[in-house]
Amino acid sequence: MQPAVRACLATAALAALSGAFPGRPLLRRVQPRAAPSASASAGPLAPVAAPCPSGALPDGDGCVPFAQAQGGEPLEARSNQHHDRRGQLRVYDQIPRHPERPEDYGAYRYPIPTPEGGKLAVSGFDLDLPDEQQRRGAHLKAVGHGGVDLAAPRGTGVQNLPLEGQEGDTEVLYIGELFGLSVVTRHRRQEHGHPREYLVIHGHLDRAAPGLERGQRLAPGAPLGQVGDSGSEGVVHLHLEIRRVRDGVDAATLPAGKIAANDRTIAVDPRNLLPLR
């Protein structure tokens, strides 16, 4: 590799590492670039466009993810348990926050606007905590919380937010009753050479966006619906939950009642996958 090209790539790496938290994209093989001709190398060197996905830099004939260069690990599921409201012990899988990811919920972007200096997250992921520390309440139907609840005025627009390291467009998987009126989107990533699918549940909506349909491909920022209190009457908020589809499960065939079932999908601490602010 010519020194000037190596310098350009090193500069790009430093700029990316200082401006964003590393994702976990696939180490992808690419075709080597053809050597520049003698006439081309005689003049000023044009900027080189790295043939790598977002979050990775070229290295020889391959691409090196930032996270791998810094020792990042894949998202691993762990088992935990709690007692439900009937006193029965429930055992489930969950993916806790990776220690490299910020603990503060205010460090992340969300599908709704974050008020300047205001508190957005009112209840976070706790399925990784001991049984007695998981969320409970007289008016809550479930024990434990597999997502994050975001406070916002009724009617606040909810938009498609691609996950960190996502490949391709977001797809609408489901519109209907789940956690109140919910819109579920489907997202794809590569994690250390393994393809993964994630479902994002946007729950307790007042209404879905006009014209939104199952199977529709969405660009970043596309409208999904509006914040409401369906299924949580009197408590206006957005329930945001991310679940990883288990290997061998076809998300397109999941009925509504199985989207959040432990044997089909795994609850993920959303801080693992939400983009940083």
Catalogue all structural domains in the chain, each as residue range(s) with its CATH number.
3-69 (no CATH), 79-272 (2.70.70.10)
Confidence category of residue 141, pLDDT binned at 50, 70, 90: low
Whole-number percent of the chain with pLDDT over 70: 71
- Pairwise CA distance, residues 175 & 177, whole Å: 7
- Pairwise CA distance, residues 276 & 234, whole Å: 31
Q: Check whether 268 has a pLDDT greater than 90.
A: yes
pTM (whole model) above 0.85 = no
Angle at 16 between CA 20 and CA 219, to 5 degrees: 65
* Residue 8 CB contacts under 8 Å (≥ 6 apart), including other chains: 45, 47, 48
Position 244 scores a pLDDT of 98
Where would I find the beta strands (DSSP E) of 66-155?
78-83, 89-95, 121-123, 147-151
CB 21 within 8 A of CB 107: no
DSSP state of 166: B
Tabulate helix, strand, coil % of the chain (nearest 5). 15, 35, 50
Report which of 208, 159, 163, 160 is spatially closest to residue 183, judged by C-alpha positions.
208
The mean per-residue pLDDT over the stretch 61-88 comes to: 68
Lowest-confidence pick of 34-38, 48-52, 73-77: 34-38
Cα distances from 152 to residues 204, 206, 222, 224, in angstroms, run 12, 12, 18, 15
Lowest-confidence pick of 36-45, 79-88, 193-202: 36-45
Confidence category of residue 58, pLDDT binned at 50, 70, 90: low
- Pairwise CA distance, residues 181 & 158, whole Å: 13
